[in-house]
């Protein structure tokens, strides 16, 4: 059970030496109780105090790492139920499943395509995180061959699942020594053998229970066998059941510090069969606490929105993703080229910059300091008004760079044009389109005269 700040304080040296970066031991104890610092920041705790504090200092949702030779997926360590309360930290791994019942050529083609998949969103490269190889046949040789086939095309971290430890072991043997794949699935019937294998391989283990009671019993038994890293599969595949159990498990971990369920979750949305439903269940899993999401159907048009959704949900709400305000040059503009204005919210900036860049037309882009908000939000909050835009146009020395003083403002803030004419009397103010996607046409048609 979690200790209070005062209880923790009693275990600290109480010297207020400040080596932890806090003015007093009590201040540090309070931070520790709130799980905002690590105990290791205090170099002076006694061994016995450490042991007592270890339990309390451990994160309520265990951090689990799955490694290949060269890549890793880290999940868990979450501290809130709602992202606005702090943030969601470790993006769930998006895993593509292949079964050993697939024809070898189909399996290799699927893995090659998914492994090579890359997409860019607001300047960030995204892709899938790994593969789940499943023994469908229950045959060690077939499973080993499938694992080998996957490794021929991908170096990404793996999830290996088989009905028994002996089949699982055959697949595991195909991997290099440095790898710690996610193994599974331990159930009430096979947990001893599975735990034995996971312990030997120093790998995390998926534990499946048909009820929360069964799940909590199993994790306790498996932990007693020396396996610390587990991932929970509450064995529900439908919308309501998944939402309920995921919520309950996260709540118990965070609010009660309930260790037997203090592990990341894995979701298998593909059980729905229908790819459209699979996609929605995968999205629900991303929103509602999954650590791993295993999808069956790999298609760029489905993976792209899932990756972007995941990126959105795991951004820190305290820090809007911003770009540096300033004057940006797109496609080598000359002094007579148009000047566009937008805000420094990164999604807004990238939408505008990508469109202008893609159009091939040269332009100057004034990225105004709107405190990282989008055009409409910033305008509503008074962070993107005529005064601010004029100030930034002057601050960035735009007039010195251009010969034609013509400023294009976003269509959403057309109302600012009058006021802006007042603020920037020697500029011609033009109202552009509302959406970035319409900019190329606007630049071609409206700005050509």
Partner 1 sequence: MPVEILKETWTGAVQIVTLGATPAEGGTRGRTVTVGGERTLPFLHFEAPMPHRPALAVEIKDRRPDDWSPVLLRAWGDVVDDPGAWAQAAAAAGADLILLALSLTDADGRPTTPAAAVAAVRKVLSACSLPLAVFGPGQADADNELLVAVAEATKGERLLLGICEDKNYRTIVATALANGHLVNARTPMDVNLAKQLNILITDMGMPLDRIIMDPTTGAVGYGFEYGYSVMERLRLAALQGDRMTQLPMLVTPGFEAWKTKEAKVGNGVPAAWGDWEARAINWETLTALGLLEAGADILVLRHPESVRRLRLAIEGLMKG
Q: Please state, in angstroms and rounded to a whole number, the distance separating the CA atoms of residues 320 and 345.
A: 7
- Does residue 251 contact residue 85 with C-beta atoms inside 8 Å? no
274 binds ligand SF4 (CB under 6 A): no
- Does residue 125 contact residue 300 with C-beta atoms inside 8 Å? no
What number of residues does the chain have? 449
Q: Please state, in angstroms and rounded to a whole number, the distance separating the CA atoms of residues 308 and 370.
A: 23
358 binds partner 1 (CB under 8 A): yes
What is the smallest separation between the CB atom of 236 and ligand SF4, expressed in angstroms?
43
Burial 123-144 (b: 16+ CB within 10 A, else e): eeebebbbbbbbbbbebbebbb
From residue 45, how far is each of 13, 19, 192, 330 by CA, in Å? 6, 12, 37, 56
> Which of 22, 143, 350, 379 forms a contact with ligand SF4 (CB under 6 A)?
22
| Part in contact with partner 1 (CB under 8 A); list of ranges 41-49, 146-154, 294-302, 396-404 | 294-302
> Which of 2, 49, 142, 277 forms a contact with partner 1 (CB under 8 A)?
277
The entry of ligand SF4, partner 1, none near residue 51 (CB within 5 to 8 angstroms by kind) is none
- Does residue 362 contact residue 332 with C-beta atoms inside 8 Å? yes
180, β-bridge pairs: 67
- Does residue 126 contact residue 33 with C-beta atoms inside 8 Å? no
The entry of partner 1, ligand SF4, none near residue 309 (CB within 5 to 8 angstroms by kind) is partner 1
Residue 91: which of 302, 309, 275 has the closest Cα?
309
The entry of ligand SF4, partner 1, none near residue 27 (CB within 5 to 8 angstroms by kind) is none
For the window 34-73, what string marks contact with ligand SF4 as x by the rule CB under 6 A?
A: --------x-x-----------------------------
The entry of ligand SF4, partner 1, none near residue 15 (CB within 5 to 8 angstroms by kind) is ligand SF4
Residues in contact with ligand SF4 by CB under 6 A are 12-13, 15-20, 22, 25, 28, 42, 44
Residues in contact with partner 1 by CB under 8 A are 82-84, 117-121, 212-213, 215-217, 220, 238-240, 243-244, 247-248, 251-252, 255-256, 258, 260-261, 274, 276-277, 279-280, 283-284, 287-288, 299-306, 308-309, 311-313, 315, 317, 345, 347, 351, 355, 358, 374, 376-377, 380-381, 435-437
């Amino acid at each position: 059970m979690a200790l209070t700040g005062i209880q923790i304080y009693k275990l600290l040296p109480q010297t207020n030496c400040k080596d932890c970066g806090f003015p007093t031991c009590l201040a540090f104890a309070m931070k520790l109780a709130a799980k905002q610092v690590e105990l290791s920041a205090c170099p002076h705790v006694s061994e016995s105090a450490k042991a007592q504090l270890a339990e309390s200092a451990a994160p309520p949702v265990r951090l689990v790492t799955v490694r290949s030779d060269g890549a890793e997926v880290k999940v868990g360590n979450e501290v809130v139920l709602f992202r606005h309360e702090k943030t969601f930290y470790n993006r769930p791994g998006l895993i593509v499943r292949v079964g050993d019942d697939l024809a070898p050529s189909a399996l290799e083609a699927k893995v090659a395509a998914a492994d090579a998949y890359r997409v860019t969103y607001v300047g960030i490269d995204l892709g899938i995180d790994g593969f789940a190889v499943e023994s469908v046949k229950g045959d060690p040789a077939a499973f080993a061959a499938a694992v080998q086939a996957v490794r021929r095309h991908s170096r990404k971290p793996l999830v290996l699942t088989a009905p028994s430890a002996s089949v699982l072991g055959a697949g595991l043997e195909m991997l290099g020594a440095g790898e710690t794949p996610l193994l599974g699935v331990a159930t009430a019937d096979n947990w001893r053998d599975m735990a034995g294998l996971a312990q030997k391989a120093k790998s995390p283990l998926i534990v499946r229970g048909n009820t929360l009671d069964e799940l909590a019993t199993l994790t306790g038994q498996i932990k007693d066998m020396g396996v610390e890293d587990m991932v929970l599969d509450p064995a529900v595949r439908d919308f309501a059941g998944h939402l309920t159990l995921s919520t309950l498990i996260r709540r118990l971990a965070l609010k009660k510090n309930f260790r037997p369920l203090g592990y990341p979750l894995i979701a298998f949305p593909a059980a729905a069969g229908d790819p459209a439903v699979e996609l929605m269940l995968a999205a629900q899993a991303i929103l509602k606490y999954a650590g791993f999401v295993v999808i069956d159907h790999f298609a760029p048009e489905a993976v792209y929105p899932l990756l972007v959704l995941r990126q959105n949900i795991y951004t820190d709400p305290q820090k809007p993703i911003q770009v540096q305000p300033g004057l940006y040059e797109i496609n080598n503009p000359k002094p007579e080229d148009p000047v566009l204005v937008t805000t420094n919210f990164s999604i807004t900036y990238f939408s505008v910059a990508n469109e202008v860049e893609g159009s091939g037309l040269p332009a100057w882009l004034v990225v105004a300091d709107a405190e990282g908000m989008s055009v409409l939000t910033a305008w509503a909050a008074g962070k993107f008004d005529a005064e601010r835009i004029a100030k930034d146009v002057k601050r960035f020395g735009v007039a010195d760079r251009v010969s034609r003083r013509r400023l294009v403002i976003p269509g959403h803030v057309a109302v600012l044009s009058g006021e802006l004419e007042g603020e920037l009397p020697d500029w011609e103010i033009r109202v552009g389109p509302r959406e970035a996607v319409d900019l190329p046409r606007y630049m071609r048609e409206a700005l050509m005269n």
